[in-house]
Amino acid sequence: MDNGAPVFDYTPEGIRALADQVINDFEAGVKGLALLSRENRDFSNTVLAFERAVSDFSEAVNIPIAMAYVSDNAEVRKAAQELELRISQYSVDIFTREDIFNALNEYAAKGEKLGEVESRLLSKTLLDFKKNGLGLEPRKKNKVKKLLKELIELELSFSKNLREVNDSLPLTLEELKGLPEDFVSRLEKTSDGKYLVTMNYPDYIPFMDNAESDGARKRLEAMFNNRCAASNVRLMEDAIALRRKIAGLIGYPNFADYMLDDRMAKNSANVIEFLERTWAKLRKKGRKELRQRAKLKNKRVGGLDKTLDAWEWRYYNNQLKKEKYALDHEKIKEYFPLETVINGMFDIFGRVFAVKFETADLPVWHKDARAYKVKNVDGSTAAYFYFDLFPRDGKYKHAACFGLRHGREDRDGSYIVPAAAIVANFPSPCSGAPALMKFDDLVTLFHEFGHVTHNIFTKAKYGKFSGTSVSRDFVEVPSKMLENWAYYGEVLKRVSGHYKRPEDKLPDGLIKKLISTKNMDSGLVYLRQIFFSILDLRYHTAKGKVDTTRLYEKLMKKISLIPMSSGTHPAASFGHLMGGYEAGYYSYLWSELIAADLFSVFEEKGIMDPATGARYRELILAPGRSYDEAGQVEKFLGRPAAEEAFLRSIDAV
């Protein structure tokens, strides 16, 4: 056992008692800050004192709040949800405190010469206060504070509703035709012999990819895109209205510009120009791909339809892969047992980043969770890392990296060891067979592991800049970066081995086909991403009330080329816009452009090259937000980031 590792043995009572404790600790930490005279102020007793109090406060509640998303105890989840609401609202109190803001401003006015990182810490901290209404006259400031707290409540309710979804569609065995045996065998059955297909991704995606029944796919897609519609449409629209009011009170033209002021993109006009430029380059490719799939549909059902509906596009996309490339992902997954993939991934990225991932006997929050120590070459512990990979009731429904502890310099000069987890919903082992990963699951795992590298390799001095605490439009760079490795033969050999014959690696022919299919649907895939990005910006630059469903319907057909199904409300489950990516969904595409450019250096030097890995770790991962992100990218590349590598990588040139 390791005494420095995080613990997760929280009870509902312990979590409920925590809020008062951490608030009192924070107040004690900032008690003397406001009382200092101007002449006695320095960086240490003002800026650093506040930074440490905030970091300590955050770390004390980080893991307890995570229990709302991963605990199998409903009471623990409930207490953690209540804690998240109270702490989030108290955080608004912190960043609307006149006494602290005045103390920081008073110190800034002294004009002391600071190092680059310390100067950045001061300016970013002051901006946080200003974006919470500080500097406004009292009535406006109090209004902003009230609205920010209301907004947090709406966002957390929206997320909680999605986590608690347990809808399922009862289907006959005939309606499951096209699905593999292992999929059918793990489904729960009703008393009248029907099979229950849930809204969880390990059920939904394979079903939409493979089910031959148009009717069953149509019913499941309707259920999936009406999750929480009765409550979440209103919550989303209320949140958009509150955000617009907050931005207006602080002096921004709209909420998107309010959010983008502190990001790489700077403002909504730059983002819209970027999205429209990329959209123009992908339209032709997307339309061609749609025609191919519509042709396949017409061949199967007869007719001359030129469109695909929302319940059809995944199915015909998958059929085209099987027909054109003889790719059957149900067969391919037999070569990707979860344990083999994990061991191979650790081997690959252990080489690239010069570390070892060792299984560790450490506390975890659930029997399905597993723990590792990340060891440096000298044997020291770089980080703690965890997996929680299978679905269960009440658990977070998507795949994500949870930053459990942020690395930062402690008061005694030692470095606090970071900790991160991948929480996902991959298919569980069943019927005596191990958990098998589809290729898309493997790409998702690499993606989330990219976020992990950002957290575990941080060397940021201050918690505010640690790990993934970067600009929202840079946070996806390391995750999109690692996806690239999944499309290399030498990597696929290392992460594969047939579950019945482990020595049998994924055959060369299948590897070649897998890589060749990477861009067979990149037009439609990226048009869909551009649709979500533009929709998000339209929601958050609107002058008046937004009808989220109507705008979704209008833009989906226009941009993604696939119409929204009548009677559905997909915005009700667009969790990104209520969980940190509001006015920021474009970040995925923006980050992918940067990641493709960074990866071009690995392509040139060798994807396993430890020297390039060391430079990437040092210049991109380690600093977090300690330095300007665009400047760090330029140091790595020797020039500013450019679009060519990205467009080439998706066959759009």
Per-residue model confidence as pLDDT tens digits over 148-175: 999 999 999 999 999 899 999 999 999 9
Query: What token pair was written down for 246?
Result: 């907050």
CA distance 491 to 608: 9
Which residue carries 């489904």 as its tokens?
187
CA distance 498 to 517: 21
Give the E-state strand segments of 433-550 in sequence order. none
**Phi, psi at residue 406, to the nearest 5°?**
-90, 130
293-319 pLDDT per residue, tens: 999 999 998 888 889 999 999 999 999
Domain ranges in the chain with CATH number 1.10.1370.10: 229-327+522-578
Please report, rounded to a whole number, the percentage of residues in the chain having pLDDT higher than 90: 94
Q: Residue 431 pLDDT > 80, yes or no?
A: no
Query: Which amino acid is residue 523, in one-letter code?
Result: G
Q: Residue 433 pLDDT > 90, yes or no?
A: no
pLDDT class for 199, splitting at 50, 70, 90?
very high
Do 130 and 123 form a contact (C-beta atoms < 8 A)? no
Domain 229-327+522-578 has CATH 1.10.1370.10: yes
pLDDT of residue 397: 87
Q: Is 462 helix (H, G, I), strand (E, B) or coil?
A: coil
Which strands form 168-171's sheet, in the order they lie side by side? 168-171, 195-198, 188-189
pLDDT class for 576, splitting at 50, 70, 90?
very high
Which CATH entry fits the domain spanning 12-95+97-131: 1.20.1050.40, 3.40.50.11400, 3.40.50.2300, 1.10.3210.10? Answer: 1.20.1050.40
Do 168 and 194 form a contact (C-beta atoms < 8 A)? no
101-152 pLDDT per residue, tens: 999 999 999 999 999 999 999 999 999 999 999 999 999 999 999 999 999 9
CB atoms under 10 Å from CB of 216, counted, come to: 23
pLDDT of residue 98: 95
pLDDT of residue 151: 98
Domain ranges in the chain with CATH number 1.20.1050.40: 12-95+97-131
Distance (Å) of CA 589 to CA 81, 313, 552: 31, 22, 19
Say what the pTM is: 0.92
Does residue 448 have an active-site annotation? yes
Do 591 and 473 form a contact (C-beta atoms < 8 A)? yes
107: buried, middle or exposed (CB in 10 Å: 19+, 13-18, 0-12)?
buried
Candidates 570, 557, 564, 529; CA nearest to 199 is: 570
Of 84, 330, 448, 592, the active-site residue reads: 448
CA distance 551 to 557: 10
Mean pLDDT of the chain: 96
pLDDT of residue 327: 85
Candidates 305, 452, 300; CA nearest to 384 is: 452
Please report, rounded to a whole number, the percentage of residues in the chain having pLDDT higher than 70: 100
Which H helix or E strand runs over 492? Answer: helix 489-494
Distance (Å) of CA 349 to CA 12, 72, 449, 515, 541: 38, 31, 10, 20, 41
CA distance 653 to 651: 6
Q: Residue 1 pLDDT > 60, yes or no?
A: no
Question: Furthest-apart CA pair in the chain: how many Å?
Answer: 83
What integer is the mean pLDDT of 456-483? 97
For 561: left if phi > 0, alpha if psi spans -120 to 50, otherwise beta; the answer is left
Question: In residues, how long is the chain?
Answer: 653
Domain ranges in the chain with CATH number 3.40.390.10: 334-516
pLDDT of residue 326: 86
CA distance 71 to 426: 17
Reported CATH class of domain 334-516: alpha beta
Do 436 and 180 form a contact (C-beta atoms < 8 A)? no
Which H helix or E strand runs over 405? Answer: strand 400-405
Which residue carries 């930490």 as its tokens?
29
CA 72 to chain centre: 22
Q: Is 195 helix (H, G, I), strand (E, B) or coil?
A: strand
